[in-house]
Amino acid sequence: MKSLARSIRYVLPAILVLLVLVGMVMPVYAQVSSAQPAMTASGDLTYGIRLGALYNDFTGDAIRRVEDKAGFSGGVYLNYRFHRRFAIQPEVLFSTRSGKVDHTGVLLPAETVDYTFGMLDVPVLLKYYPFAGRSIEPNLFAGPMASFTLSRDLNFAQEPSGRFDPSDEYRTGTLGVTFGAGFEKHAWGRRLSFDTRYTLGLTNLFRDDHRPDFRMRGWTVTVGVGL
């Protein structure tokens, strides 16, 4: 509960900013005719939901073996086409990231830990459309991502000895980068998008910077539907 309360303090501003942006552009977007080509002109703005499946992994000097696990991701996005070939796309996504990690044995009371993190990811992507104006538009994208831990479940192969508080051991917020490729298509009166993205954590999950490196990474396949 303590980690959740701490996360909400950082998460709420990100959600509020996105909601304010959506609220500001909805009246303008409602005036645009549905018959207008969806992916040709600059100044086009859309929003919608994203759902995806992810394959999480851990990396760094703090581990010697990892059993990767699948998870899911879902949330909302806002896409602003400020140029015919470029767009900015902030997102707010909830994701689950899991894995069983064998640590080096010097970091935790137990060497093997089965992690499950509930994360709120806030990427801000710059998208490039090399073939703008076509019925199917491929794109490349990259950008920074802030992640906030909403829940943290640790299952030890052996019960820790002594006092062990995960809130004191692990960071609540981390930074990373996301990049990938996808394509968009206007169908059934909506903008559909599909992409594959790779996320690399840049921040050590442990609070103590003197500890060996321990970071998240993984692939995600997502589907977006404009609203």
Give me the pLDDT at residue 137, please.
Answer: 92
Give me the pLDDT at residue 159, please.
Answer: 67
Give the Cα separation of 17 and 30 in Å (integer): 20
Give me the pLDDT at residue 164, please.
Answer: 67
Give the Cα separation of 178 and 146 in Å (integer): 10
Q: Is 213 exposed, middle or buried (0-12, 13-18, 19+ CB in 10 A)?
A: middle
Give the Cα separation of 222 and 227 in Å (integer): 16
Give me the pLDDT at residue 42, please.
Answer: 63
Give me the pLDDT at residue 199, please.
Answer: 95
Residue in 133, 129, 221 with CA at minimum distance from that of residue 183: 129
| Half-sphere exposure in the Cβ direction for 157 (13 Å, CA) | 10
Q: What is the pLDDT of the chain when averaged over all its residues?
A: 80
Give me the pLDDT at residue 111, please.
Answer: 74
Q: 36-82: per-residue pLDDT in tens?
A: 444 445 668 899 999 999 998 888 887 777 887 889 999 999 999 99
| Weakly modelled stretches of the chain, pLDDT under 50 | 1-15, 17-22, 24-40
Give me the pLDDT at residue 10, please.
Answer: 43
The residue ranges of every structural domain in the chain are 2-226
Give me the pLDDT at residue 219, please.
Answer: 94
**Bridge partners of residue 30, in order along the sequence:** none
Which CATH fold would you assign to the domain 2-226?
A: Porin (2.40.160)
Give me the pLDDT at residue 26, please.
Answer: 46
Give me the pLDDT at residue 31, please.
Answer: 47
- pTM for the full predicted model: 0.76
